Amino acid sequence: MYTKLSIILPDIRTSFRSGNYNYSTPSTKSANVNLIKEINRKYGNITSYWGKLFDIPNGVIVGFIATESGGVMTKPNQYLATGLMQVTPAAIYDSARKWSAEVKSAPLPTPAVNLLKQKIPNFFDSRTSLASIQSKILLYLQSDANFNVMAGTIVLRWLIERFSVSGGAGQLNKAMVGYNAGAYRDILSSGGTKNPVDSTSLATNRRVPAESRGYLMKMLGKDGFLELIYLQKLAVV
């Protein structure tokens, strides 16, 4: 049984702004609503399937897809972030292979293990290096939406477990920053990995990368994707 995920809303009661782009304008809100509906229409069955296996609400996964890729199965960028959930080969390689060391609450679900073995037969072989299978991982991340969402959900659950409060709930805000900027950033571990931190503090802390601060706003700020889904009750599968 996985650590319970805590979604606290309203979390950040300001909107995301970048130059002339403002999440609180009616036109931007409308665009966000339409994007959520489109992602849910095209990929809702996939996000719902993997969400149930990893006990992550479907709306959270839809929100990550909206923020990461805008619902587009992209090719690898300069950091090799790929597809709907912008997964990197290193992230899925590390998260899945180190799962048992980090996630004590439940094993990696059998359907995820089987899919990884089906696509990359030697994925879990201890002798298999990332370099030797990276090109194959990239191939499936950019061509197979089901594989991409599965990989992204593994990484997300791994991060939620990593940043769970001792005896309490998983910290979605820390998992968001970890997903965007890397799980081991000092800002996430300072004062103890398990210590809770509110989203506003993360979103305004200059030690957190600017991109990650914007990421929090896009998800949890006014008219952000998760705010629309969970506070304004925009329906998803």
Q: Answer yes or no: is 152 within a domain.
A: yes
What pLDDT digit, counting tens, does each position of 154-173 carry? 999 998 888 876 555 667 88
What CATH number does the domain containing 40 carry?
Answer: 1.10.530.10
CA atoms lying within 13 Å on the CB side of residue 181: 21
Highest-scoring range by mean pLDDT, 18-22, 134-138, 177-181, 187-191? 134-138
H/E stretch holding 170 reads strand 170-171
How many Å apart are CA 131 and CA 149, to the nearest integer?
Answer: 22
Model pTM? 0.88
Which is higher by pLDDT, 201 or 210?
Answer: 210
Is residue 236 included in any domain, yes or no? no
The model's pLDDT over 81-114, given as tens digits with 9 standing for 90+, comes to 999 999 999 999 999 999 988 788 889 999 999 9
Residue 146, in any domain of the structure: yes
Domain count within the chain: 1
Note whether residue 68 is domain-resident. Answer: yes
- Mean pLDDT over all residues of the chain? 85
Q: Does residue 206 form part of some domain? A: yes
Residue 139 lies in a domain: yes
Q: What do you get for the CA distance between the two ends of the chain, in Å? A: 22
For residue 82, report the phi and psi dihedrals to the nearest 5 degrees.
-140, 140
At residue 234, does pLDDT exceed 80? Answer: no
**Has residue 11 been placed in a domain?**
yes
Domain ranges, residue 63: 5-231
Asked whether the beta carbons of 177 and 208 are under 8 A apart, the reply is yes
| C-alpha pair distances (Å), 14 with each of 35, 174, 217, 237 | 21, 19, 8, 27
In a domain, 69, yes or no: yes
